[in-house]
Amino acid sequence: MKHMFLVLEGLSGCGKTTVGKILAEKLGAVFYKTPASLFSPIRSVVDEKADLISRFLFYLAGVAQSSVEIRKLCEAQHVVCDRYLDTTMCYHKAMGVPVELLLNSPESVFVIPTATFLLVCKQEERIKRLHRRGLTYNDIIERRSGVEENFFAEYKKKQLIEVDNSSNDPNMAADEILSYLKNKRM
């Protein structure tokens, strides 16, 4: 790939979208949000009615389509992505889906990020943000079933680059990511 492909992962309400847009602007990059827009029209139906394995495969297909689109975008510019493959894998593994059995070598299908950052923030701040933006169906299910803790534990296993976004200024998180990239000469 000619340009960087950066991914922001994290639980809902950590500020991935806000920080991602700021970071994209500061880098002169395109901001990309998964799943691919092609999948948006039926997303809520799948979330509410599909069984877990079908839901996993739907989101996996969405990431596969996103990967194709991101690969093309990276030919011309940097890409900052709001959620990617780790979200799909960690979320569904936390829900009990045997993701390893269903997908043994994701790198053979998906474009691999230059760097993946796990945005974290204090629980009380995250909950405030979720209520401000309005809870989605998935937010409600995650809170009820206690899957958030398992989801976060799966993220932690990935040893992603953690960035605290508890502050009310998302520019601080974006600047921390930029500093990391500069130090690593990316």
Residue located via tokens 């991101």 = 70
Rounded Cα distance, 154 and 89, in Å: 9
pTM above 0.75, yes or no: yes
- Report the pLDDT averaged over residues 148-176: 92
Tens of pLDDT, residues 30-82: 999 999 999 999 999 999 999 999 999 999 999 999 999 999 999 999 999 99
Tens of pLDDT, residues 86-107: 999 999 999 999 888 766 666 6
Query: What is the domain-level CATH number for residue 34?
Result: 3.40.50.300
Q: How many domains does the chain have?
A: 1
Amino acid 106: pLDDT: 65
The beta strand positions in the chain, using DSSP E, are 5-9, 30-33, 79-82, 115-120, 161-164
- Quote the domain boundaries for residue 121: 5-183
